[in-house]
């Protein structure tokens, strides 16, 4: 009879193959078939994992650049269906481009914030050979890295990995490993709370020539939402886009000498049409362009849900402007919004 480990490895490998095909080729993430497929993969990974990596009692790690969510929460991100599909498609396409472009037909992938399952690089192992890709995975939480190592051994995919390191991606130096692709999904909506911006700022310096940072761009914008039925009405009758709070990409980073310059501070004029409204919520919206046309649209995943910042009742004509200020990675409560 085959051992429990062999059966677990087979369950993961089969469900990963099926999930990878669905993520890359369909059906769409909102279908039951897709959700069931990713759910099966999650269950298989969970069954083979260390207890503390998949239990809700593990703690987040707080740093001055943002919170590293707990291993449990990091693992559950797999079930943020649209997110996982769009990131995985972007990762496969970017890797394919880099493998094709390189002289020796191989690409180095640095995965910053792997979580306990390495969810966004596992599909690569179903589309590339170990000669084509080498992965360096990092996570700040040892519970996650220990678990990922356990899964890599179980699945016998060690040849794909040059290492799995328990490191802070805001400061880690990959030394002789020159990444062709950096992948990091260490973000919360509107780039608050988690440290993606600091990780991107730090990692971008190690990218090889023509190297790719994934996601390529995160756009946060401010909208005014008009609601009819009082402050607790969740239905928006009108949405007016006021403008971009930040377009975070390589260009943004190139224009910031040091990290302290990453501070979002914008002021928009209040459009006169809002003066007619009884209740107006100001909301931060997020869109994530992972790679090429793999885009996570506003409200399509946990990381692109809107954040309602504050409500104004009867926007008075004496108010002309709305301003928003915050540091990426800050706590929700530290986002400042003023109407004046
Ligand atoms: C939102 S989870 C995503 C997990 C996985 N990448 C995925 O997409 O399913 C973010 C992961 O990044 C890790 N992380 C956050 N900040 C980090 C840092 N400064 N250095 C390394 N890892 C970090 C967390 O511990 C967590 O495992």
The pLDDT of residue 231 is above 80:
no
Q: Is 77 in the pocket of ligand 1 (CB under 6 A)?
A: yes
Q: What does the pLDDT read at residue 315?
A: 77
For ligand 1, atom 12: residue with the closest CA = 113
Q: Which CATH number fits domain 4-215: 3.40.50.150, 3.40.640.10, 3.40.1360.10, 3.10.310.30?
A: 3.40.50.150
169: left (phi over 0), alpha (psi -120 to 50) or beta: alpha
Q: How far apart are CA 168 and CA 210, in angstroms?
A: 25
Percent of the chain topping pLDDT 70: 100
Report the first-to-last Cα separation within the chain, whole angstroms.
Answer: 73
Token couple for 331: 């706590």
pLDDT in tens, 65-83: 999 999 999 999 999 999 9
- Please report which confidence band the pLDDT of residue 238 belongs to, taking 50, 70 and 90 as the band edges: confident
Looking at residues 227-240, what average pLDDT do you find? 78
Closest CA to 300 of 82, 32, 24: 82
Structure tokens at 216: 């390529």
Three-state DSSP state, 113: coil
- Encode pLDDT of 268-283 as tens digits: 999 998 887 888 999 9
Residue 186 CB–ligand 1 contact under 6 Å:
yes
Tens digits of residue pLDDT in 286-305: 999 999 999 999 999 999 99
Q: Is 0.75 topped by the overall pTM?
A: yes
Question: Which atom, in ligand 1's list, is nearest to the CA of 168?
Answer: 20
Q: Is 69 near ligand 1, meaning CB less than 6 Å away?
A: yes
> Which numbered atom of ligand 1 lies nearest the CA of 60?
25
The answer, yes or no, to whether residue 319 has pLDDT greater than 90, is no
Cα(238)–Cα(223) distance, integer angstroms? 10
Instruction: Give the position, in ligand 1's atom list, of the atom nearest the Cα of 83.
Output: 8
Closest C-alpha residue for ligand 1 atom 3: 74
What residue segments make up the domains of the chain, in order of their start?
4-215, 218-339
The tens digit of pLDDT for each residue in 15-62 reads 999 999 999 999 999 999 999 999 999 999 999 999 999 999 989 999
H or E, element range at 336: strand 336-339
What pLDDT is stored for residue 7 in this prediction? 96
Alpha-carbon separation of residue 280 from 203, 265, 312, 315 (angstroms): 39, 21, 5, 7
What per-residue string of b and e applies to 176-192 under the rule 16 or more CB within 10 Å gives b?
A: eeebbbbbbbbbbbbbb
Please give the distance, rounded to the nearest whole angstrom, from the Cα atom of residue 188 to the centre of ligand 1: 11
Q: Which residue minimizes the CA distance to atom 15 of ligand 1?
A: 68
């Amino acid at each position: 009879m085959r051992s429990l480990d062999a059966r677990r490895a087979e369950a993961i490998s089969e469900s990963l193959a099926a999930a990878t095909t669905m993520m890359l080729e369909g059906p769409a993430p909102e279908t039951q078939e897709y959700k069931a497929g990713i759910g099966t993969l999650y269950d298989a990974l969970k069954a083979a994992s260390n207890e503390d990596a998949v239990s809700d009692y593990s703690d987040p790690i707080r740093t001055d650049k943002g919170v590293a969510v707990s291993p449990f929460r990091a693992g559950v991100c797999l079930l943020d269906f649209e997110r996982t599909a769009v990131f995985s498609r972007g990762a496969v396409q970017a890797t394919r481009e880099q493998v094709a472009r390189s002289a020796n037909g191989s690409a180095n992938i640095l995965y910053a914030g792997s979580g306990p399952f390495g969810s966004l690089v596992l599909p690569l192992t179903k589309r590339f050979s170990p000669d084509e890709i080498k992965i360096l995975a990092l996570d700040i939480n040892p519970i996650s890295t220990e678990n990922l190592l356990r899964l890599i051994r179980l699945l016998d995919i060690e040849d794909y990995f040059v290492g799995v390191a328990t490191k802070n991606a805001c400061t880690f130096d990959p030394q002789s490993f020159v990444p062709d692709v950096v992948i990091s999904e260490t973000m919360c909506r509107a780039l608050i709370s988690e440290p993606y911006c600091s990780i991107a700022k730090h990692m971008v310096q190690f990218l090889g020539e023509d190297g790719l940072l994934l996601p390529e761009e995160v756009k946060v914008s401010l909208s005014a939402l008009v609601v009819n039925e009082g402050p607790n009405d969740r239905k928006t009758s009108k949405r007016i886009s006021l403008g971009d709070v930040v377009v975070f990409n390589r260009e943004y980073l190139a224009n910031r000498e040091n990290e302290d310059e990453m501070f979002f501070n914008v002021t928009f004029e209040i459009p006169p049409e809002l003066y007619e409204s009884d209740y107006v919520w100001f909301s931060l919206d997020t869109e994530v362009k992972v790679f090429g046309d793999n885009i996570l649209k506003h409200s399509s995943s946990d990381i692109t849900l809107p954040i309602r910042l504050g409500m104004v009742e009867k926007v008075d004509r004496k108010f002309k402007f709305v301003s928003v200020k915050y540091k990426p990675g800050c706590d929700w409560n530290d986002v400042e919004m003023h109407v004046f």
